[in-house]
Structure 1
Amino acid sequence: MSRKFLETESPSWVTDGLISEAQRQQLLARYPPEAQPLGLLPLLGSVLVGLSALSVVAANWQALPVALRLALLLGSLTGSYAAGSYFLRRGNDDLGHGLIGLGLILFGASIILTSQLYQLVGYDASGLLAWVVAGVAVSYVYGSRLLVLLTVLIGAAVQTYCVESLGIFSYVTAWLVVGGMGYYWWRRPDAVSATVLAVGLLWQAGLLIIVLHAKITWFFVPAMAIYAAGDWHPNRAVGRAIQVPSLVAAYLFMFGLATFGETDAYANILRPPLLPYLAALGAVFGLSALGKRAQGRLASLPEWLLLLPGFYLSGGLTLAVATLVVLYAHAGSVLARANREHDSDQLTLGAVLFVAATAVAYFKLTWGFMDKSLFFLIGGVLLLGLSWYLRRRNAQVLAAAAPPVAQQAGTPPAPGNDNEPEAPAHNS
């Protein structure tokens, strides 16, 4: 249930006598105001204006005098920051942050163009590091999710350049993003910034695995470390937001293993040394479990089922059955938690995961020996039956959550309650 829905519908509930005004205020207090959406128009505007300016200048760059080139760079940079500060003082935050973001983009362009201007050949990323430092700095100064997004993107771009062009991994860039923006997320919790940061950190982790030429499954050690950080954050919604990208990556990996892991051809790319890998993943698991316990979130511990190293099993039926069991157990844990918490959204997610696991099991285990017409007929019947059962279960969960709400609102118990005394009969 969203606050916007409550603000819209709750006055009519008070008018109809379903709840009192005091109870309405309690409901509103339970659902705090939602964060303002990220201003995509200022972001897109900043990017398009920046690209336009860069294309015009780049087309005539060599023909311009050196002094004019420097003047253009400095003028556009200072002009963007000055205009952004002006609109921020006037209370136009979206436009102001958009212009500050444009200034951040132009700062990076100035570094690159100045390097070309003086024919400076870069064998390291020291110049581009200043761009990341500037992004972290302006994010703290202005406290804008737009600037957080740009900084994470800049960090990813600089790291990609280091890996692709220089063949190195810039640990300084990684630590600027992890430490600078991670501390920003911890001190200024925000769901959008958390998700953006998690995706950026996963990108950094993937590039590190590429540079180190390590088994790709090592990726899940830093990925689940990001997940563990969410377990320790006191704000449940924000902690959950930073965990979702890691969970999605783990689920897609397990789903792909269940679908395509028929043979041992994957052994050379998926199987790291057993003991070091389990020790590292176990340490992260322990950190996550301690965080869940400290914040009272142990119910989500079964999400770690997705990290069971089934790729150490031989391919074929053994691996297929093992991964399907994991997918079913994970879907069942989501459904069980949704049932306990009366969470319809989690119930829907669990239903989708259950149907996905059933579809994989059906295709993997029956396609080879069942006639195609019978295959599709039974599959359709199974999916229709699952749809009916899950809809029925969803209705039962919502119905179970309704009586407490009705009692809080002062609705009298339904007739026929054994504990309710009967009204005295009146003689005619």
Structure 2
Amino acid sequence: MTVGTVPEVTRISVIGTGYLGATHAVCMSELGFSVVGVDVDQAKADSLAGGTVPFFEPGLEELLRKNLDSGRLSFTTSFAEAADADVHFLCVGTPQRPDSQAADLRYLDAAVDGLLAAGPKAGSLVVGKSTVPAGTAAALAGRLAAQAPMVRLGWNPEFLREGFAVEDTLRPDRLVLGVPAGAGGHRAEETLRAVYATAITAGTPVVVTDFATAELVKAAANAFLATKISFINAMAEICEVTGGDVQTLSTALGYDARIGRRFLGSGVGFGGGCLPKDIRAFRARAEELGAGRAVGFLAEVDAINLRRRTRVAELATELLGGDVAGRRVAVLGAAFKPNSDDIRDSPALDVAELLREAGAVVTVTDPAAIPNARRRHPELRYADNAASAAADADIVLHLTEWADFREIDPAALRAHVRTPVVIDGRNTLDIARWRAAGWTYHALGRPNV
């Protein structure tokens, strides 16, 4: 980098090319930077280098091929090829540890080991994007000070929504820049502002803060969203015993500007690779710091969410006469959300497994996630479309709100089933249309619809 008030950034490395890293690498090259993506998985690096995204994300593969063709983007397993970058983004996963609810930082540590061994150039900036427990950045800054004193650190948490990751990277709703105090922090801030100049010029708000706050922003955001979802699902439980309608309740609450309608959609709950593990890691870190009581409510947020899955299985069992053994169940959905093939902590697959374990013959369909689901759950049956999944079904469960499923012709689907009974686990189907087609409709939190 050149010395001056605005650091020059021309080359970027992205370490870790999973969902976050691949998206970030492609989008940084789309912004005009020379980008190298680094991953220890040769097959993943080869797939991306060949123009194929190894997961489903709308619009990403087209941008990948465009930027590979431009020559600005490459992928490798060699850290040495990234050593000359001006900025190094750490985008590795931080999953839940197998022995506790805490975050597993092994991949982050390994990424830093690889970068340091390659010898990053003096004056470069290492930027954490991975979701980490508070205190991780400070520890990493100390490590860099000891092992690579001419390399600085910044923290820039990601806020990607699966299915909208390209939009969220190129046109983020906010940028959080965690930097240390002093001249080094000012330099790190200016470098990050140079990286994100396009978004900043377009009006994206920028929050500059310390490392701990930057780490906590992501944890707090996910904790709040999870809490909001579990709150409305707790209200659904109350509606079921009082005769209320949770959808009408959500609508009424949403008109209050202090509350808002977003994330007040009741149903089978949240899943994926972020919210569940992040709220657990947040609680675990708070416990380590002696502040566990402050976020103790997240245990109930988690419990409410998991109860929704059990409740769908229980409702299906009730509707099938109290015993699902040998009954045929069609599950519409495998991904944890639409426009994704991510099956991590998928409510749909959890429900499918609960019913299969109880003896049901379960067939799952999904527009994008069947290959991943089949690898994780080979014991389930799969179909390419809703009609095939519903063949001779005794009940149909709508558990991932893909547009493909919302737009199904219920009259046409009825011709394939044995019994026209549907549980709308996402409260997004057109009740009148399904009932007009002869279906018996049920949904969580809506006993009187």
Report the TM range for the smaller structure's normalisation: under 0.3
Point out the structure with max Rg over C-alpha. Answer: 1
* TM-score between the two structures when normalised by the length of structure 2: 0.27
Structure whose residues are more often helix by fraction: 1
* TM-score between the two structures when normalised by the length of structure 1: 0.28
Greater relative contact order structure (CA < 8 Å, 6+ sep): 2
